[in-house]
Structure 1
Amino acid sequence: MPTAGPRSGDAIFASVERVNAELFTLTYGATVRQLLTDLEEVEEVNKQLDQMGYNIGIRLIDEFLAKSNISRCVDFKETADVIAKIGLKMFLGVNATVTNWDAEGTCCSIVLEDNPLVDFVELPDTCQGLHYCNILSGVIRGALEMVSMKTEVTWLRDMLRGDDSFELQVKLLKQIPEEYPYKDDE
């Protein structure tokens, strides 16, 4: 994953085209509501949101790399910092911080200062197991996989569940060796 270069998350966010935030929030809410209706099981909705995010993340990384103009990260710590300070700012306009590193430097928390996905949202009692913003964990997981990092991304805290902040745990499971196909001339 690239490191922060000449363009900050704020500069990139200011220069990219955006859709109306309220329209985006309401459309996402309608998507979650439809999944709840179609799938009926909250855990299945969580899985579907994660998979949708994963599919977005594996495509979004190309745009991120093209627009951010940053060089390759040296380690997972630097990668997490780029996600928090540039990636989340670039695509969601959200400031985030990286905290709670483990001793090995393979697990951390990303705490979001704001979360536009939850504007206008209140979960009913029947949806208390729902990770409403699970699409974000999938996006991060998918994007990191495309830059050779197999990760597990889970929600630790969620303001929709009564917590004081939104906190994702990102755990590096393994570095995926980059493979370059070649044609053997025989």
Structure 2
Amino acid sequence: MPTVRHASFAPHVAADTRLLILGSLPGARSLAARQYYAHPTNQFWRLLGDVVARPLAAMPYAERLAALHAAKIGLWDVIRTAERRTSSDGDIRDAEAHDLADLVATLPDLGMIAFNGGKAATIGRRQLPDPGGIALVDLPSSSAAHTIGFAAKRDRWMRLRDALAPTAPTP
């Protein structure tokens, strides 16, 4: 299989985003569908659905994105472009990272950045050496190829609720 250069999507964020979830680079199914986490075995929408207590996996894609917007959750990837023969993160070569600091600077309510998988965490943490009070969380990959089991992943992903809790009004 030949190596192909792939590019990520535009960020799905709003000015009031509190939680930003960063993947590595969309896989072949996601790129073909033009949708984040489109592969049917990827557990992303089930995991995040449990975090926000909504059946995201059962919703049409546009409704999923609207639900994330309402929950103040943004999505993006740490890699802008890279060469890859398969959808595996281990197959990513010659990666060009996004300027995460530029995006973060436009999100004044951002309290947490979560990295979906080890590759995203490695590249993302290099881009954000000083997150300025924003919590950085490494998550087990939502990919079915990461085989620790859904329940174990879910336990770690539930930590994302900390970023979504309403903040107490200042007196």
Scaled to the shorter chain, the TM-score interval is under 0.3
> Normalised by the size of structure 2, how large is the TM-score?
0.28
Higher relative contact order (CA 8 A, sep 6+): 2
> Normalised by the size of structure 1, how large is the TM-score?
0.26
**More helix by proportion, 1 or 2?**
1
